[in-house]
Amino acid sequence: MSRALPDTARRGWCPGLSRPMPTGDGLLARIHPPLGVLSLTQARAVAEGARRYGNGHLDLTARANLQIRGVTEATTAPLAALLDHVGLGDTRRDGGPQRLTLTSPLAEGDISALAKAIEDVGRGVPGLPPKTLVSVGMAMDEADLSVLPLVAGRVAIVAGTFVWQCGSSDTPASIGTLLAAFVATGQRRMRDVNPDALRHCERSEAIQGSGPPPNVAPLDCFAPLAMTVEVPAPGLSTHDGQPILALDAPFGRCTVNAFERLIAVAEDIGAAEIRLSPSRGMVLLPSRPEKIRLPDLAANFIVAADDPRRAVAACTGAPACASGSTPTLLDAARLAETFRPLAARGLSAHVSGCAKGCAKPGPADLTLVGHEGAYAIIVGGAPGDSHQLQVPIEAALERLGRAATLGLAAAFASATNDGGRNRRPA
């Protein structure tokens, strides 16, 4: 049985294993694999947990974590114990972030070690907002802090519109100083912090003691560093001579059966671990790449970079989520095919079961928001924005078919003649 919880109470909640979050389809337990990496033993435990204690599906999140849905009050403890036993248990009990850092699935060596050290420091900062994020080795808009390697053992720490430099060995302490200053502001996101509130950090021992004077400069000075994101596109490729198999989960979801088949593939191709990707996918580093059969994997995963589903976000929707009135995953799959020419131009779409926008809270070029079995259409906005049109999925697809030539705004203009099927409700 799920616990009722108002939306205001859920905001900012970081559900873990010991404290899962009520949703429309039971409790949602989030697994935060250290550094986003699962050994095959851990992966088998995740599969067992989702099958025995969840609803047989796994969500892959944009922060490279995993979610098990359909957990109950009775199954919360055994699921947590199962995963704790293999090193996937919660890391803190104070409501702070279970996983603070995000790295590329291709991260190795120094970057992985730095991310681990930052995790250790972060656990010692009480009061961190649960969604605090430090990206390490790559710049991310949504990160509160980004740590980017520079030359000669130095790193840049990007906080909002400011950049600090420090020595690599001083980075964890510098991050700790900045996180403590962030907590003191009472804000939930670093981007909302007045930069003046962080200026005293420049005088901190960690940053002052790191060699040359701290360099505070506008972010523009470091714009080229933002090109460091390394998330491999689906399919087979190589990185520094290492074969890579990257697979995205359609709409961030896969069944336990599919996940177990992937574990078997990992064993077969000589991959020792499954690395989770912010693209809501998984990356394997095979030692026997010649054994990979992409067509076999395509039944369950996205295996090609030009798959239009990569441009479409979708939440669980109905019937699994009680807040939804439309089958978002089925509708998103239909929409993706029609969206293909727009996806090829770099446009994005989002099919949301309700205005909460779990899959993508921000704007997309085209957003469909479920309401009483139909969809409100928002062009260039977010799920919570106002809409001009509400139509059934068939009418939305029909209009979308014209968008490749007319453009989205014209195709979804409320005055478009569609035989009266698309009238807004009274």
The residue among 252 and 278 lying less far from ligand SF4, judged by its C-beta, is 252
Nearest distance from C-beta of residue 310 to ligand SF4, angstroms:
19
Nearest distance from C-beta of residue 361 to ligand SF4, angstroms:
9
Q: Are 20 and 29 in contact (CB under 8 A)?
A: yes
Q: Which two tokens stand for residue 292?
A: 């990979």
Nearest distance from C-beta of residue 276 to ligand SF4, angstroms:
20
The residue among 69 and 309 lying less far from ligand SF4, judged by its C-beta, is 69
Q: Which two tokens stand for residue 341?
A: 């020419």
3-state class (DSSP) for residue 100: coil
Considering Cα of 362, then 363, then 364, then 369, what sign does the dihedral take? Answer: positive
The residue among 105 and 317 lying less far from ligand SF4, judged by its C-beta, is 317
Round to whole Å and give the CA distance between 391 and 215. 54
Round to whole Å and give the CA distance between 61 and 70. 16
Question: H or E stretch including 31?
Answer: strand 26-31
Which residue in the shown chain puts its C-beta closest to ligand SF4? 353
The residue among 30 and 356 lying less far from ligand SF4, judged by its C-beta, is 356
The residue among 352 and 367 lying less far from ligand SF4, judged by its C-beta, is 352
Nearest distance from C-beta of residue 12 to ligand SF4, angstroms:
15
Nearest distance from C-beta of residue 250 to ligand SF4, angstroms:
16
Round to the nearest angstrom and report the end-to-end CA distance of the chain: 36
Q: Are 123 and 91 in contact (CB under 8 A)?
A: yes
Residue ranges of E strands in 270-373 = 273-277, 281-284, 312-314, 349-352, 364-371
Round to whole Å and give the CA distance between 151 and 18. 42
Nearest distance from C-beta of residue 256 to ligand SF4, angstroms:
19
The residue among 105 and 357 lying less far from ligand SF4, judged by its C-beta, is 357
Question: H or E stretch including 278?
Answer: none
Nearest distance from C-beta of residue 370 to ligand SF4, angstroms:
6
- Amino acid at site 304: A
Q: Are 251 and 312 in contact (CB under 8 A)?
A: yes
Burial 304-339 (b: 16+ CB within 10 A, else e): eeebbbbbbbbbbbbebbebbbbbbbebbbbbbebb
Nearest distance from C-beta of residue 316 to ligand SF4, angstroms:
4
The residue among 219 and 330 lying less far from ligand SF4, judged by its C-beta, is 330
Reading phi first (left if > 0) and then psi (alpha if -120 to 50, else beta), residue 340 is in alpha
Neighbour count for residue 358 (Cβ, 10 Å): 22
Nearest distance from C-beta of residue 376 to ligand SF4, angstroms:
13
Those residues with Cβ within 8 angstroms of residue 175's Cβ, 6 or more apart along the chain or in another chain: 118, 121, 122, 134, 145, 147, 157
The residue among 78 and 361 lying less far from ligand SF4, judged by its C-beta, is 361
Residues of this chain that bind ligand SF4 (CB under 6 A) = 24, 315-317, 321, 323-324, 352-354, 356-358
The residue among 92 and 356 lying less far from ligand SF4, judged by its C-beta, is 356
Nearest distance from C-beta of residue 290 to ligand SF4, angstroms:
40
The residue among 24 and 105 lying less far from ligand SF4, judged by its C-beta, is 24
